[in-house]
Amino acid sequence: MLYEQAADEQRYPASITKIMTALLTLEAIGRGELDLNTEITVDAAALADITEDSSTANLQAGEKITVKNLLYCLLLASANEAANVLAMAVSGDIPTFVELMNQRAQELGMAGTHFVNPHGLHNADHYSTARDIYRMSKQAMTHATFREIVSTGRYTVPATNLSKARSLLNTNGLLTSAKHYGYTMDGTIGIKTGSTGEAGYCLVAAVQKKGHTLVSVVLGAQNPTDSRGNVQRKQFTESKRLLNWGFTNFSDATLLDAETYLQELPVRFSSEASHVVVRPTRSVQVMVPGTYDPERLELRLRFHRDVASAPIEAGDVLGTVTVIYAGEEYATVDMAAVSDVSFSPFMAFVSSVNTVLGNIYVRLLLLIALALVVVGLVRRFQERTKEERRAKRQLRQQEKIAFRQREAEARQQDEAQAKLEKEAREQQRKEELLRRQQEAQERQAKRAQEAQERQVKREQERLEREERNRQLRAEREARQAEERQRRQAEREERQRQAEVRRRQEEEARRQREERERRQRQEREARRQEELARRRQEERQARQREERRRQEQADRERRRQAEWERRAR
C-alpha cells in the first residue's frame, strides 16, 4: 500500500459491485457449472428492480444471450439487468447469489463489506471500503477473461432473437475517450466505474508501466462545473494524480536476495568446521520511495545462539534477519544454514571439559593426573571414534534414504487423497446438477399440470364469465394502451431533453469555435494593421530621404550656378 486515505471507511460502492458479480460468474465457469458460450434466457424477474434512470443494456424478457456477452454488458455498459441475469444463472435466484457474494467477500478478507444486490443500486445496507474493493479487484484481475473485458474500449454484442446488434462503450475514461474525453492515461488495463447520487462517482483503475502494475481506488468523487460550464470528472483526474504520483515517487528494489551469504556463525562440537554460513530463506522485493539507495538499507541479524551446536543440517533455521530501508521495517526473514555440520563426540567432550575446568590450576592438576591415561587410551579412542563416525555416517545416510522414502510415500498418499477429493467434488457437482435438473423438471411438470387444471377450470367457467372477461380485457387493453402511450411519451420526452442538451452542447461548442475564429480574425487584422503601419512608416521614411536628397541636389546646383556666375 503506497498511499491511503480513509481506506477502511464504509462507503456505497455503486456499480463497482459488479466486479464481485463478474468474479463469481467466472469462478462458476472455472468449476464447470457454466460456459462462456452458454445461452441464457432473460427472466422477467431479472428486470423487476431496475429503475428507468439506471444504466442498462435494454435486455428484454425472453431474450437469449450468451454468458460472455452478458459479462460485456455488465462490465462495459454497466448494465444492471445483466447483473441480475448472471446472478440467476449462477445461483438460481438473486437472494441466494447475494449470500454467495457476502460469503466470498468474507473469504477475501473484506471485513467492511456487505452486499444486498448484485448490481450496486443504492441500499443503505449495501456498502464496502476502498481497501476491500482493492482486495476484490485484485482477485478478479487474476482471471484472463475479466482482464480482457475490462481492457476493451468498445464491443459489439451480436443480434439476438429480440434485439439488433448492440454497440457497448467502456465508461472508464482512463482507458478510452469514447464516453469521457480528455482523461486517458497510457498503460491503463482496466477496471470499473460506478456512480449513484448517494455514492458519488467511483473508479477502480489499474495501470501497467515499467514492468509494474498499480491499482487505485477512488470513492465518493464529485463532478463540479467550472466557470466555462465544463464538467470536471474528479474520479478520473484524482485517479490519474494518484497513479502518476506512485510511478514517479516509487521504484522497484530487491532489498534481500535469497542467494546472498549473510554471515558465518561459530560452531561447537564439530571437528569438520568451526563456522557455518547462513543465508535468508527467501528474497524481499518491494517498491521503495524514490530511487533505491543501498546506503539506506539496514540488515539486522539475530541468531538464536551466539554459537551454534553441531549437528547442523543444511536448511536448519539459526536466526532471523530484519530488513529495514530508510528507517522503515519491510520484512523479517529466517536465516538458514547453507551446509551440513557433523557432530564430534571428542570435540563435545573437550568443550565440556573446557567449560567445567575454568580454573587453570585445576586444569593443570587434572591434565597431569590424566596424562598417562590419555597416552594409553588415545589410540583406542581414535579408532573407536573413527568407527563411530563411519557408523553414524551410514546411519545418517540410511535415515536420509528412509526419510526420502517416507516423503515419497506421503506425497503419493497426498496425491491419491487429492485425486479422491477431486473425484468426490466432481461427483457432488454432478449430483447437484442432476438434482437441479430434476427440480427444474418437477417445477416444469408442476407448472404444466397447474396450467392444465387452470385451462379446465377456465373452460368450465368460460360461458358464464365470457362477457365480463371481454369487458375486463377491453379495460385492461385501454389501460395498457394508456400506459404504453405514457411510457412512450416519457421516452420521447427524455429523448427530446437529451437532444436539447446535445444541441445546447453543440451550440455552445459552435459558439466557442466562433469566438475562437473571431479572435483569430481580430489577431490577424491587428497583425495586418501593424504590417500596414510599418510599411507606411517605411514609405514616409523613404519619401523624407528622397526630399532630403533633392534638397541637397538643389543646394548643389545653386552652389554650382553661383560659382559659374562668379567665374564669369
| SS3 per-residue string spanning 137-158 | HHHHCCCHHHHHHHCCCEEEEC
- DSSP H or E stretch at residue 309: strand 308-309
Place of cell 455514492: 199
The pTM is what?
Answer: 0.56
Work out the pLDDT band at 225, boundaries 50, 70, 90: confident
Work out the pLDDT band at 150, boundaries 50, 70, 90: very high
Nearest Cα to 281, choosing from 333, 346, 324, 231?
333
Q: 221 in helix, strand or coil? A: strand
Average pLDDT over the chain, rounded to an integer: 87
Q: 65 in helix, strand or coil? A: strand
| C-alpha distances in Å from residue 542, one per residue of 176, 177, 260, 534 | 61, 59, 86, 12
CB proximity list for 208: less than 8 A, separation 6 or greater:
187, 189
Q: Which of 55, 78, 128, 239 is catalytic?
A: 78
339 catalytically annotated: no
Q: Out of 140-154, 230-244, 396-410, 527-541, which region has the weakest mean confidence (pLDDT)? A: 396-410
Q: What is the pLDDT of residues 395-453, one digit of tens each?
A: 877 877 777 787 778 778 878 888 888 888 888 888 888 888 888 888 888 888 888 88
Q: Is 187 left (phi over 0), alpha (psi -120 to 50) or beta?
A: left
Instruction: Tell which wins on pLDDT, 565 or 323.
Output: 323
pLDDT over threshold 80, residue 314: yes
Q: Which three cell numbers stand for residue 207?
A: 495501470
pLDDT over threshold 80, residue 385: no
- Is 234 annotated as a binding-site member? no
Q: What is the pLDDT of residues 83-103, one digit of tens each?
A: 999 999 999 999 999 999 999
Distance CA 77, CA 170 (A): 6
Work out the pLDDT band at 362, boundaries 50, 70, 90: low
Q: What is the pLDDT of residues 503-551, one digit of tens each?
A: 898 999 899 899 899 998 998 888 898 988 888 998 999 999 999 999 8
Q: Which three cell numbers stand for residue 72?
A: 460485456
Domains of the chain: 14-249 (3.40.710.10), 257-356 (2.60.410.10)
Q: Residue 67: its pLDDT value, please?
A: 96
Burial group, residue 17, by CB count within 10 angstroms (0-12, 13-18, 19+): buried
Q: 266 in helix, strand or coil? A: strand
55 catalytically annotated: no
Identify the sign of the CA torsion 431, 436, 440, 446.
Answer: positive
Q: Which three cell numbers stand for residue 549?
A: 536628397
Burial group, residue 350, by CB count within 10 angstroms (0-12, 13-18, 19+): middle
| C-alpha distances in Å from residue 451, one per residue of 445, 447, 457, 470 | 10, 6, 10, 21
Q: Which of 18, 55, 128, 195 is catalytic?
A: 18
For every residue of 350-388, DSSP letters joined together read HHHHHHH--SHHHHHHHHHHHHHHHHHHHHHHHHHHHHH
Q: Residue 216: its pLDDT value, please?
A: 95
